[in-house]
Structure 1
């Protein structure tokens, strides 16, 4: 018997599970709708006047411009971070909020918070910025690269 790799095992299990799970839905599938472009129903039915306001860019006004200019003029960027975190926490109703300078810093902070045991395996895309796998190495976690479709890079 040929030994199976983890990828073969996961792929086989995923296909089998999907087949069992989706079998009932395949027989009860509704008729396919036409695209709106081909005369089918529209997905977004917001009035044109309101749609313009929703999609207008940039979405900031004079108060936001003034706040940004004040930060740039005073050169005290970090003074405002606690206020920003507090207001963002209230707005999102999240239990914890921490501002970061970039995604690398955010990922590193996430691994501190998760406190995973050394050797934990974490699935990461193989076609991405290096920090997706580098940050976990600081915590002795092991990246498990997820293969992508080379034609679509997804």
Structure 2
């Protein structure tokens, strides 16, 4: 299955193996709540975490430089974070339609962000060893949660 994510035909920035992997992993029991907890409590970047999990699954080497690619960081700062801030400020019950539009826009911005990360990571050299925990620890200094996430993300 790992090779499937790395080599699927038709990969492009907005529809790529990392995006498809992220959708699958995010829907696994317990993953969404743990990722949101890492984001809220440790200021971890969920897209970077998903990129590390994908690189681990596809046996690609991950680096801090790749995860912090300037194009991705600029996109996160200018698009993803402002949309997230606006969505969080919006009262779901009071402004339901607006909340849903902002949520959809945030998801599309995240999809584009994963495309930027995929563009940098897709040609990374093969990893000689499992990089999951080490890569996650670059993003979130909580070994307990990182280990738990690796377990939950397994197919």
Give the TM-score normalised by the residue count of structure 2: 0.25
Larger Rg: 1
Give the TM-score normalised by the residue count of structure 1: 0.25
